[in-house]
Amino acid sequence: MGDWIAFWDSAHSIYVNARHRDVHYLLIAEDMARYVPKGGVVLDYGCGDALHANIPAEIASRLYLCEAAPKLRATLAERFAGDAKIVVSAPEEIAALPNGTFDLIVMHSVAQYLTQEEFGKLLALFHRLLKPDGHLVLGDIIPPNISAATDARALLRLAAGNRFFFAALFGLVRTVLSNYWDLRSELGLTRYSKEDMLEKLTHAGFWGRIAHTNIGHNQARVTYVVRLA
């Protein structure tokens, strides 16, 4: 995970331009908000840039943004310094919170960068931090049959509908030549079939189901809605 954290903390080129970055995070925030209980305490674990975190925060009583990348975390703290509902935290600060802190935990587009062992440890942490009637939402889980070409087509569809298609074409070429592609080729992405994910959740003391739609733009990937068993 350390190599991936260093990548996301760098001046990477995953987002082809500012328009792409904004649309990406707006979709995530709007989709995430559908799961937020009114007045609930919410954790967005591995939140990234979280440009539109104010959207779910408006529904919640408090939103914790957890980010492992230190530079990115500092940027988040500065961006949301004036919002009393938003708390920016490091993973170790989240791990130190009391049992049953959260009504909702969302972890979107993170599981693929974790080993199965790392993911299992996080599930154990989430199990402790969730309230008895709370929910865990795992977004952007990659099934075994999804290729990089599928991801590219999803990006181009998003770009075509949001006025950055030609920038996306150039960005895809740039990504293939970047250290992201080197990392992806070297480390791979962890993938889960439905059977594997449900078995892992059951082993961790959860019950889960597949949501009707994935959080974000890539509907070839999967979101799981999970509760304590």
Do the beta carbons of residue 26 and residue 52 sit within 8 Å? yes
| Signed CA dihedral, 167, 171, 174, 179: sign only | positive
Q: Give the pTM.
A: 0.94
- Residue 169: its pLDDT value, please? 87
SS3 state of residue 42: strand
Number of domains into which the chain is organized: 1
- Residue 4: its pLDDT value, please? 82
**What CATH code is carried by the domain that includes residue 130?**
3.40.50.150
Closest CA to 143 of 189, 206, 202, 106: 189
Range of the domain at 199: 2-228
Measured CA to CA in angstroms, residue 94 lies from 3, 49, 81, 101, 220 at distances of: 21, 18, 18, 10, 30
- Residue 1: its pLDDT value, please? 60
**Which stretches within the chain are classed as H helix?**
2-8, 18-33, 54-59, 70-79, 91-95, 116-129, 148-161, 165-176, 179-187, 194-203
What does the alpha-carbon distance between residue 217 and residue 157 come to, in Å, rounded to a whole number?
Answer: 9
Do the beta carbons of residue 106 and residue 32 sit within 8 Å? yes
What does the alpha-carbon distance between residue 75 and residue 112 come to, in Å, rounded to a whole number?
Answer: 24
- Average pLDDT by consecutive 10-residue portion of the chain (229 residues)? 80 87 97 98 97 98 97 97 96 98 98 96 98 98 92 94 91 75 75 97 98 97 98
Q: How many CB atoms lie within 10 A of CB 144?
A: 8
